[in-house]
Chains A and B, each alone.
Chain A
Amino acid sequence: MIIYGVALLSICTLAGLFIGDLLGVLLGVPSNVGGVGIAMILLIFGGGYLSKRGLLAGKTEQGIEFWSAIYIPIVVAMAAQQNVVGALGSGPVAILAGLAAVSLSFAMVPVLDRLGRPDVAAEKKPHEPGTAAQATASVQR
């Protein structure tokens, strides 16, 4: 039954947000601490556990998959209610923040790729990451 999946998702959501709220109280933060993330972890492991025991039939999964599939439209609806007029007044922060994050992350790919590889250490070093990092540095300035 589809409602079982929706109910499982609901229980994980409520439990995660509840734990997040308790963490907030314990840590003295006036907010929910990672409730959404905790709920996701609950769903990953709870769903995995139930799936392994054959308790998640196709219909049950559909109850979760529907909401998973609808999240981009929901994010679009969320974007449509932000204070964009106010944000654009404060300059190119968003553009530069986005660009800086992508440039740095691109530059990190070959670094991490080499870091964890057991075999070849003597592979020739591509010079692009350096220029990417420099571009990022100038962007950040």
Chain B
Amino acid sequence: MIIESLTKVLNGYGLISGFAVIGATMWLSYWLSAKFTKGRLHGSAIAILLGLVLSYVGGLYSGGQKGLVDIPLLSGIGILGGAMLRDFAIIATAFGVNPEELKRAGVSGVISLVFGIFVSFIAGAAVAFAFGYTDAVSLTTIGTGAVTYIVGPVTGAALGASSEVMALSIAAGLIKAMVVMVATPFVAPLIGLNNPRSAVIFGGLMGTSSGVAAGLAATDPKLVPYGCLTAAFYTALGCLLGPSLLYFMMRGLFG
């Protein structure tokens, strides 16, 4: 009787259940981040990794293709992480980006943004090609996943990529974000990352907002806003270029 009532509520209020489950996941992740990594590995990266792990477990358990969402009690996560709210929230992150401040950051910031997207895209697409992906949609989706774990799925969704390629794309972006968080304080002295100007360039090249914020915070907290300023434009530019210019490039090369 208790189980029946609980199931009825959780299923009937799916989106609310999703908030509760994801909220608990976030809390656990930030706790793990603070407790075991002293904040070096950002809580958001752990949370996304946990999400992928849970999706793996859910996929093994249900045999479906939608990870945790295939478990009936957790189907509300599908609404929370679905295309509508996802796009809405991503667009909201653009708010607060001040075009005047970007002008002050200078031309180098803009150049680094464009370079950053192409460099990461080419690296990701080259690896995908080396592993036998030859269709333009998969190459573009994995390549844009190496841009950020948001640009990848947005591009993949726009191009109609398969769920496997989408997961690879997100995983590539997640690995990028985590490597940036962990490696930045160690690489910073080698690449001259010790002033606002190089931080602006760094933010534009890396682009992964959580990676840049955590990586710079671990290097020198004063540099965080400079890196995050350009990084904030990265995902927008990537979302704009991914399903358009980058896809057309790949379609021209691979048919």
Binding site for B on A (CB under 8 A): 9-10, 12-13, 16-17, 23, 27, 29-41, 43-45, 47-48, 61, 64-68, 70-91, 93-110, 112-113, 115-117, 126, 128-129, 132, 136, 139-141
- CA A96 to CA B126, docked complex, whole Å: 10
**Interface residues in B, total, Cβ within 8 A:** 117
Q: Can you sample 21 A-B contacts with CB below 8 Å?
A: A32-B243, A33-B244, A35-B87, A39-B87, A39-B94, A40-B235, A41-B240, A48-B98, A71-B90, A72-B48, A74-B81, A77-B80, A79-B48, A80-B74, A81-B69, A83-B59, A83-B164, A94-B169, A97-B168, A100-B124, A129-B191
**In the bound complex, do residue B69 and residue A87 qualify as a contact, i.e. CB atoms below 8 Å apart?**
no
Interface residues in B189-219 (C-beta closer than 8 Å to A): 190-193, 197-198, 201-202, 205-206, 210
Extra contacts besides A40-B93, A74-B85 (5): CB < 8 Å: A43-B91, A72-B47, A81-B55, A85-B56, A88-B56
Contacts of A71 in B (CB 8 A): 89-90, 92-93
CB distance from B202 to the nearest CB of A (A): 5
Given A33-B244, A34-B239, does the pair A86, B164 have CB atoms closer than 8 Å?
yes
Q: Report whether B92 and A9 are in contact in the complex, using a CB–CB cutoff of 8 Å.
A: yes
Q: How far in angstroms is the closest Cβ of chain A from B245?
A: 9
Q: Which residues of B contact A (CB under 8 A)?
A: 18-19, 22-23, 25-26, 44, 47-48, 50-56, 58-60, 65-69, 74, 77-78, 80-82, 85-100, 106-108, 111-112, 115-116, 119-120, 122-124, 126-128, 130-131, 133, 142-143, 145-147, 149-150, 153-154, 158-160, 163-176, 178-180, 183, 187, 190-193, 197-198, 201-202, 205-206, 210, 235-244, 247
Among B26, B127, B176, max chain A CB count under 10 A is at B127
Collect the chain A residues with CB atoms within 8 Å of residue B97's CB: 44
| Contact with A105, one of B87, B89, B120 (Cβ below 8 angstroms) | B120
Q: How far is the CB of B182 from chain A (nearest CB, A)?
A: 10
Query: Which of B53, B123, B172 has a CB less than 8 Å from the CB of A104?
Result: B123
Most chain A CB within 10 A, of B78, B112, B174, B242, is at B112
A17-B87, A75-B48, A84-B55 known; A94 vs B168 contact (CB < 8 Å): yes
- In angstroms, Cα B238 to Cα A38, docked, is 11
**Cα A31 to Cα B171 with chains together (Å):** 23
Q: How far is the CB of B173 from chain A (nearest CB, A)?
A: 7
Contact indicator A77/B18 (Cβ below 8 Å):
yes
Q: Which of A34, A76, A84, A109 interacts with B240 by CB under 8 Å?
A: A34
Q: How far is the CA of A26 from the CA of B168 in the complex (A)?
A: 30
Residues on B with C-beta less than 8 A from A109 are: 191-193, 198, 201-202, 205
Q: Which residues of B contact A103 (CB under 8 A)?
A: 123
Bound form: Cα–Cα A100–B56 in Å: 25
Q: Tell me whether A105 and B236 are in contact (CB under 8 A).
A: no
Within the complex, the shortest CB–CB distance from B150 to chain A, in Å, comes to 7
